[in-house]
Amino acid sequence: MTAALGSHPSAHRGEAGTFPSDTEFPVVWRELLAESAAWNQVDCASYLRSWCGEAPEDVAARFAGVNHIGVYLGDYASDEEVFRWHTYLEGLKRAGELSGVEMGPSYISPRQYGTPGWWLSLSLPDGRVIETFTCRHFGPWLSKPVSERRRLMSHVALEVAAADDVRAVLDGLERDIEHLETIAYTEADEVGHTYGHLRNNTTRTVLEVVYDAAKKESSAAPGEAR
């Protein structure tokens, strides 16, 4: 892991704790690109050790690289703020800077933190993926300091080579490291992803583990078994 990286990906604007305004979108976009480029070079075993204090060989051996980063952009007061971000990203897609933009409601923030939220998944032409997150400025979420909100929602997603590896990594780390807790697990969603989220309850940071079936299929050579 490069020395410049902290415990989680971040955008400078998120430090304010409120969702960026329309005029700030270009700056946020440049920061997201820089974060993605930097985190894409992370050594998985080194990051795991820095994140939770240990990197068991049987767990670290299952990681194949960084699948994506997730960045918290701050709390929103109105859904319209998030919709305008989506519109801005769709403009980047039309300009060729993005190859895909998806959006949906968060299922983690209502269950874990008592507030609704949104995720947006941004696909870059070179295959990298960036996800952005935001939670509504509402309810018990407000009792947490801004710095903790960023740590809980921003994260790195490490990729594994097989769907079964996701459950093996989650179970192994949660079993052997007392301060880790699995807070979400999804098996074979509509696009073939199997993934889970671990929370470090000491540092209040999150790690995602993901198997990306679509990426496996797209990387297979013509005629190769898929």
205-217 confidence digits (pLDDT tens): 999 999 987 765 5
46-93 confidence digits (pLDDT tens): 999 999 999 999 999 999 999 999 999 999 999 999 999 999 999 999
Quote the pLDDT of residue 15: 72
Which of the pair, 6 or 176, is modelled with greater confidence?
A: 176
Confidence of residue 113 (pLDDT cuts 50, 70, 90): very high
> Degrees (nearest 5) of the Cα angle 48, 219, 158?
10
Position 225 pLDDT exceeds 50: no
Report the pLDDT averaged over residues 181-209. 89
Please tell me the least confidently modeled range out of 39-43, 64-68, 220-224: 220-224
Asked if 114 and 139 count as a contact pair (C-beta separation under 8 A), the reply is: yes
Asked if 156 and 39 count as a contact pair (C-beta separation under 8 A), the reply is: yes
> Degrees (nearest 5) of the Cα angle 187, 7, 71?
60
Asked if 45 and 36 count as a contact pair (C-beta separation under 8 A), the reply is: no
154-176 confidence digits (pLDDT tens): 999 999 999 999 999 999 999 99
